[in-house]
Amino acid sequence: MGDDPARPRHDRPPPGRVSPEALARARGDAREGLDWLRRQPEVRATIQYRAARILARLVLFGIFRFRIRVEGREHLPRGGYLLIGAAHRGWMDPFLVLHALPPAPRAWFLGSAASTFSSRWRERLIHWIGGLLPVWRGGIGIDQHLRAAEAVLEAGGVFVQMPEGTVSGPVGRIGPFRTGAALIALRTGAPIVPLAMAGTEELYLGRRMAARVLPSTSASALLGETWDGVLAEPGSRAELDLARRLSDCLADLLGPVVLELHPWTVDPAGHPRRFRRRLTWLFLAPGRLDR
């Protein structure tokens, strides 16, 4: 049965959040990045990855009947770049990224282990297929994530980051960017491909979503003449200030595009939104839809 927006609901309040650090301590073996992967990230599309893509497309487009419009694929480099995606509003965002990219070179996501590894079988399946380099929030720095990014880039892959770091944010607009993605961009010097996304905050049968690949750029191009091109000491206040400036530049670039894409994804008020809550929270802890 679908969700009727006119029907009064008596939902229980969302459960209290458990910190990722507490979840990591409870596991006792929480590893991040390459330490968790225990192999070099693949760039070629393996058999299991291609099979997973086919299955995902059957479910997303055949059963859920999602409709995704992607623009700007001609801007994609051959590989060896950072992809910065926003706005990040739900579990569909990684699939939206993968839909915008060719099967190879492979995309590897810097993603939350706390929300992804909800069960041991899911963790084993993702490890076998590949594509995730997990992070447990509250770590001691970005060094392990920098190593993961460098491994993907050196192999010619795509390292994907969503700098908002959370799916909670304004609908149709970007939220505040964290500095981790900017720090990795500064330290690697890799090309940056911004990807604007809209329509993933609320899912239901037939939902429309949109993405636009923007032209490849770089940290120096984004910072422009305000930066002398000299990298600050890693971990210093100066480096953090520069990363904040770069994050603001990325937000200024992606923000207007998200605003432009959003109206196409909005259905009229009376449009049926079947299985809205079930699909919206399919791979997320339940909460409010007006987040």
pLDDT digits (tens, 9 = 90+) for 43-76: 999 999 999 999 999 999 999 999 999 999 999 9
pLDDT category, 94, cuts 50, 70, 90? very high
Domain locations along the chain: 26-280
Is 90 exceeded by the pLDDT of residue 14? Answer: no
Q: How far is the C-alpha of 36 from the C-alpha of 29, rounded, in Å?
A: 9
Q: Lowest mean pLDDT: which of 119-128, 130-139, 144-153, 204-213?
A: 130-139
Q: How far is the C-alpha of 116 from the C-alpha of 126, rounded, in Å?
A: 9
Question: Contact, 110 vs 161, CB < 8 A?
Answer: yes
Average pLDDT over residues 75-80: 96
Question: Contact, 75 vs 193, CB < 8 A?
Answer: yes
Question: What's the pTM?
Answer: 0.89
Is 80 exceeded by the pLDDT of residue 6? Answer: no
Average pLDDT over residues 248-266: 98
Q: How far is the C-alpha of 213 from the C-alpha of 211, rounded, in Å?
A: 7
Give burial (CB, 10 Å; 0-12/13-18/19+) of 124: exposed
Q: Which two tokens stand for residue 222?
A: 């984004």
> What's the residue count for the chain?
291
Question: Contact, 95 vs 111, CB < 8 A?
Answer: no
Amino acid found at 180: G
Q: Average model confidence (pLDDT) for the chain?
A: 89
pLDDT category, 119, cuts 50, 70, 90? confident
CA angle, 42 as apex, 69 and 128 as ends, to 5°? Answer: 90
**DSSP class of residue 58?**
I
Is 80 exceeded by the pLDDT of residue 5? Answer: no
Which of the four CATH numbers 3.30.450, 3.30.1560, 3.40.1130, 3.40.1560 does domain 26-280 have?
3.40.1130
**DSSP class of residue 114?**
H
Residue 9: per-residue pLDDT: 42
